[in-house]
Amino acid sequence: ETGVTQTPRHLVMGMTNKKSLKCEQHLGHNAMYWYKQSAKKPLELMFVYNFKEQTENNSVPSRFSPECPNSSHLFLHLHTLQPEDSALYLCASSQVRDSAYEQYFGPGTRLTVT
Amino acid sequence: DQQVKQNSPSLSVQEGRISILNCDYTNSMFDYFLWYKKYPAEGPTFLISISSIKDKNEDGRFTVFLNKSAKHLSLHIVPSQPGDSAVYFCAASDSGTSGSRLTFGEGTQLTVNP
């Protein structure tokens, strides 16, 4: 596997379900991110992890719970979601350094909440 | 408060001609700018970037121009090819804050007609 991978690619869940999204990066990066992309809207940053430590929570509701066990893996645990949470969830990674902030994205998980 | 704006949701050009995608920003602290390309069912792919100390960066058919006084950047693709048809996002970063945080525009759908 190369780059950034995400599983599952598609997920349909009811409002009372609990599920988890998984992201893995094979680039040796030290930062990982969760983004949400809703239709016709810009990518919204949800969480940032630098060196496994959460450095940013962009006012995300507590029904979204991130976990970063190591610098290569990132999870997003989902519970009691709402239909408006249906979106494309993108994971990204980058090498944090003094200059250049290119982030490399996975293919995303298309989430539908019914 | 939309700090990065792409005012054209779509652009259509003929193969071989120039494509010009525009992006405006409001935060004067932004000092690094990036363009991403996104195909359907894939994550965004990094294309080209520019630091605020430059006004132009070129990579093959892609050139990014930065006008700091106008808080405006543009991506030129020449010659355009049908494979360039995708959604293009501009993004900006302020290295003085959390370093790798990117703020994205809404995206412009480019269609290159054969």
pLDDT tens by residue, A21-38: 999 999 999 889 999 998
Radius of gyration of chain B (CA): 14
Peptide bond into B79 cis (omega under 30): yes
User: A–B: how many Cβ contacts below 8 A?
Assistant: 64
pLDDT at position B40: 86
Chain B contact for A39 (CB, 8 A cutoff): no
Chain B residues with CB under 8 Å of A92 CB are 43
pLDDT at position A57: 74
Q: For the ranges A17-26, A35-44, A49-58, B70-79, which has the lowest average pLDDT?
A: A49-58
A74/B41: higher pLDDT: A74
- For residue A99, give the nearest of B36, B51, B98 by CB distance: B51
pLDDT at position A50: 81
Chain A contact for B105 (CB, 8 A cutoff): yes
Which residues, in sequence order, are bridge partners of residue A49? A32, A54
- For residue A56, give the nearest of B89, B95, B98 by CB distance: B98
* Helix, strand, coil share of chain B (percent; to 5): 5, 55, 45
Q: For the ranges A54-68, A78-92, B80-94, which has the lowest average pLDDT?
A: A54-68
Q: Once rounded to an integer, what is the mean pLDDT over residues B3-25?
A: 96
CB contact under 8 Å between B4 and A4, yes or no, is no
pLDDT tens by residue, B42-79: 899 999 999 999 999 999 999 999 999 999 999 999 99
Name the residue among A107, A111, A101, A109 with its Cα closest to residue A31: A101
The CA dihedral of B112, B41, B3, A100, to the nearest 10 degrees, is -90
Whether the per-residue pLDDT at A1 is higher than 80: the answer is no
pLDDT at position B97: 64
- For residue A107, give the nearest of B36, B43, B51 by CB distance: B43
Helix, coil or strand: residue B58: strand
Minimal CA separation from B35 to chain A, in Å: 10
pLDDT at position A40: 76
Q: Give the whole-number percent of chain B exceeding pLDDT 70.
A: 96
pLDDT at position B63: 98
- Relative to beta strand B108-113, strand B102-104 is unpaired
Chain A contact for B62 (CB, 8 A cutoff): no
pLDDT at position B98: 56
What is the rounded distance in angstroms from the CA atom of residue B112 to the CA atom of residue A50? 39
Whether the per-residue pLDDT at B26 is higher than 90: the answer is yes
Average pLDDT, whole number, for chain A? 89
Q: Once rounded to an integer, what is the mean pLDDT over residues B26-38?
A: 93
Whether the per-residue pLDDT at B95 is higher than 80: the answer is no
What is the rounded distance in angstroms from the CA atom of residue B106 to the CA atom of residue B108? 7
